[in-house]
Structure 1
Amino acid sequence: MNKFLFSLSVISLFTIGFVFSQNDMQSSQFTFNELSFNPANAASTPNIVVSLSAREQWAGFKEAPSTQFLNAYTNIDGIGGIGLSVINDKLGYEKSLGVHVVYARKFPLSDKNSFSLGAGLGFMNKSIDYDKLVFEQGNDQTALASQKSELKSDFSFGASLDLAAFHFSLSSTHLTQSLNKSTFYKTPRHYYIFTKYTIKASDRIDVAPSVFVKSSEFINQYEVNTNVFLDKKYWLGVSYRFDESAVALVGFTINNQFQVGYSYDFNLGPIKTYSNGSHEIMVLAKFKGFKQKSAPKSFFN
């Protein structure tokens, strides 16, 4: 086990030191964290929505990935959708922070249909603490700086289409990044496709299947998900991330204002021998919008 961890550390070191390419962070609660990858989501509701998610990946590994997501957004009449998205990530002795302000506009097509465009502008910061790395041979440590950090501006763009019970979104993150210009912090552009359809199975049950595709220069990831909602208060869900993991989800709504969700990833790849899976918890709160006189609309409307 120690030998495996050491090998993993060496691979990570070479990746950090010479390539340092960062893919976007993983989230099994992506249906509740759409603002993290699509700024057009800021125009999706007149309510004020604030969500916080925490993900602990690869349980059982020391210094395993740990990620936190914070999203806040609302659509204001006459102004548009505004929001803030913050992603904090720690992997071993590597830390990443992304902060973006977003703006979006919704264009009504009919009473229940609309099209939205959004953009996000912010920064990303990456740092690594070389002093904390442990080498198998003491003289293996060359002249590395004790800590290195880099701050970069970042831009994202997205679009979404809502047709009654059907939702489709297309977006891209890190549009201003270039793998050729940076010697330390390389972030490839990411492209996302997310589609969801809500089926009213009965007066009490709604079924929402979805497909999520993420692509960059280094990965192509495909995920299918289905959530089943009871009385618009409780839900159970399953996801399958191709060649990587299966996910179980559960959650509930309190007073039509708060949502709490939990997911567990069952590793299916080679890492399953060494890890007990991944945990993620999500808390979402919804408040009356700036110009709303009534209570917040239902999460599921």
Structure 2
Amino acid sequence: MIKKILYILVTVGLHSSVLAQHFPVYNQHFINSNLYNPADFGRNDYTQVFGFFRQQWSDIQNAPQTQFLTIDGPVNDRAGAGIILINDSENIVSRTTFMGTFSYSVPLAEGHDISFGISFGVLQNRIDFDKVNSRQKQFDNAILDGRENKTAAEGSAGISYKFKKLRAGFGAHDLLASRFDYENNDGTESVSFDLVRQYIVSASYLFDVYPKITVQPKLLVRATQGLPSQVEGNVLFTYDKDLWLGVTYRQANNWAASLGTFVYDKITIGYSYEMNMGNFGDYSGGSHEFIIGYRFGKKLQSQKPMVVELPIIDQKDYTKDFKVQEEKMDQLAQQVDRLESQLRQGAAMSEYEQQEIENLQKIIAEQRFNTLRLIERTSIDTEIEDFVHSNALYYVVVGSFQDLKHAKNYQKLLIRNHDLQTKVVQNKEQTHYLIYTLSSKKKEVLIQGLQDVIALESFLIEGQPWIYKYD
């Protein structure tokens, strides 16, 4: 009889958990996907901490509730590591999971790589039989009571694929499929609780709608052994990399809206509200989730030179331009050395300024040829460009970096040394951050802007400024 009672409780009270929340379901995985795929750990150029809380079905007593904490960061250019702590409660059943995670990325080409990740740790499963509301407990002393705890090993694994703006991933969870057995004191009654493996497949693509606006649709499929698969669709709208709005549809007629922001490039704050549009939603209430994250630290920069394939183009001969660019880059390096020497002689160089100079020297060395090739690929000839009939937007570019933080530091140097106000835009391939002084569709404005920058004769300008076409 006890098996039947628990089966009814779990099947009726926790049917959502068995189907979709056996491994926690949450809407804001587009902000932090670590929980769903261990291969995503440590892939950013910073260490990050995320805390999360979700209350499902707010109008139902003892409805599912989830909290988790993830910490991850880079070990080196290819490896990442982190930890996961999950607390999940659903009616009379709750569990706490703690795992360590390691990931490794294999670069295939520029903007093209594949990563592998594995998590391993322990899981404690708890059943609170005192919450069982049954008249039979008044007459049957053999029924289980109290709070029973069982512990077992837990593991997950994942693969993540990246090709320019395309992302795809596969995660497998509860790999060990642990079994928990509970007995009453005299051993006459027992209950078994089995974890089943769950697989999560996802794919997304980032579209640039406008220089500051992106749209990223994402498809996610959850498959649990012995149960129907569940399909989920998401669309994420981002403005200026600071604000986002997400819309989610999940099978079983669930809709969710998410809203969040990045504060000072350090703090992430997000909220999501989910509702069931079917009959169940009339009395279940909505679901709420909150996420907050903090970024700190910095990934070590690769010491290996970047390999860039030169495109085959039918344009003017750039041989002379290359020589001019190389001379400019050499002059830049020499002037940075002189600046460093002058600051040291005056005994006035702060630790921050010294670090800026050293970072700038490294960037110059790493990006010498990469910058030249970027100019060759993206610059236009103002004499032959058809500005009148073009729908493109043009930028007067003074520098390019693959790291956003380098680009922002470069902006600060331009303001401090020349009072030159600049902005940042990402190129279409999303491989570089371009620092520009102005944008326009008018030839005269662009040429004048280019001449103004050249007239500065600044040692901070990376080679010859150029006009970039964004179409």
How many angstroms apart in 2 are the aligned matches of 1:77 and 1:233? 27
How many angstroms apart in 2 are the aligned matches of 1:111 and 1:47? 20
Q: Label 1:89 to 1:296 Cα distance change in 2 as closer, same or farther (>3 A).
A: farther
2:152 alignment partner in structure 1: 152
Tell me the amino acid that sits aligned with residue 210 of structure 1: K
Q: Deviations over 1:131-163 (max 9, x none)?
A: 233325653665213121111101111110111
How many angstroms apart in 2 are the aligned matches of 1:296 and 1:104? 23
* 2:252 equivalent among 240, 243, 253: 243
Q: Is the 8 A contact 1:178 1:186 kept in 2?
A: yes
Q: Report matched runs for 1:26-41 at 5 Å.
A: 26-41=25-40
- TM-score between both structures, scaled by the size of structure 1: 0.87
- TM-score between both structures, scaled by the size of structure 2: 0.57
Tell me the amino acid that sits aligned with residue 156 of structure 1: S
How many angstroms apart in 2 are the aligned matches of 1:99 and 1:229? 32
Tell me the amino acid that sits aligned with residue 186 of structure 1: D
Identity of aligned residues (%): 25
Where is the helix percentage greater, Structure 1 or Structure 2? 2
2:223 alignment partner in structure 1: 215
Q: Report matched runs for 1:68-217 at 5 Å.
A: 68-77=67-76, 80-136=79-135, 139=138, 142-177=142-177, 184-217=192-225
Q: Is the 8 A contact 1:150 1:185 kept in 2?
A: no
How many angstroms apart in 2 are the aligned matches of 1:221 and 1:187? 18
Residue 253 of structure 1: how far off its partner (Å): 1.0
Tell me the amino acid that sits aligned with residue 100 of structure 1: M
Tell me the amino acid that sits aligned with residue 12 of structure 1: L
Tell me the amino acid that sits aligned with residue 174 of structure 1: D
Paired residue total:
291
Tell me the amino acid that sits aligned with residue 255 of structure 2: A
How many angstroms apart in 2 are the aligned matches of 1:139 and 1:49? 51
The yes-or-no answer on 1:252 pairing with 2:249 is: no
Tell me the amino acid that sits aligned with residue 194 of structure 2: K
Residue 10 of structure 1: how far off its partner (Å): 7.9
2:467 alignment partner in structure 1: none
The yes-or-no answer on 1:286 pairing with 2:283 is: no
Segments of structure 1 that go 5 or more residues without pairing to the other structure are 1-7
Larger-gyration structure (1/2)? 2
How many angstroms apart in 2 are the aligned matches of 1:274 and 1:81? 44
How many angstroms apart in 1 are the aligned matches of 2:196 and 2:181? 11
Q: Deviations over 1:141-193 (max 9, x none)?
A: 65213121111101111110111111100120111215699963311111110
Q: Report matched runs for 1:51-66 at 5 Å.
A: 51-66=50-65
**Aligned to 1:24, what secondary structure does the other structure show?**
coil
How many angstroms apart in 1 are the aligned matches of 2:204 and 2:247? 14
Q: Is the 8 A contact 1:47 1:296 kept in 2?
A: no
How many angstroms apart in 2 are the aligned matches of 1:144 and 1:253? 49
Q: Is the 8 A contact 1:129 1:147 kept in 2?
A: yes
In angstroms, what is the RMSD of aligned CA positions?
2.9
Where is the strand percentage greater, Structure 1 or Structure 2? 1
Q: Deviations over 1:209-263 (max 9, x none)?
A: 1011111123411100001011111111111001230011111110011111111
Segments of structure 2 that go 5 or more residues without pairing to the other structure are 183-190, 302-354, 360-402, 408-425, 431-471
How many angstroms apart in 2 are the aligned matches of 1:45 and 1:236? 22
1:4 alignment partner in structure 2: none
**Aligned to 1:201, what secondary structure does the other structure show?**
strand
How many angstroms apart in 2 are the aligned matches of 1:211 and 1:79? 27
Q: Is the 8 A contact 2:150 2:180 kept in 1?
A: no
Q: Label 1:140 to 1:264 Cα distance change in 2 as closer, same or farther (>3 A).
A: farther
Q: Label 1:160 to 1:14 Cα distance change in 2 as closer, same or farther (>3 A).
A: closer
**Aligned to 1:58, what secondary structure does the other structure show?**
coil
Q: Label 1:33 to 1:185 Cα distance change in 2 as closer, same or farther (>3 A).
A: farther
**Aligned to 1:35, what secondary structure does the other structure show?**
coil
How many angstroms apart in 2 are the aligned matches of 1:81 and 1:158? 13
Residue 9 of structure 1: how far off its partner (Å): 8.9
How many angstroms apart in 2 are the aligned matches of 1:82 and 1:296? 23
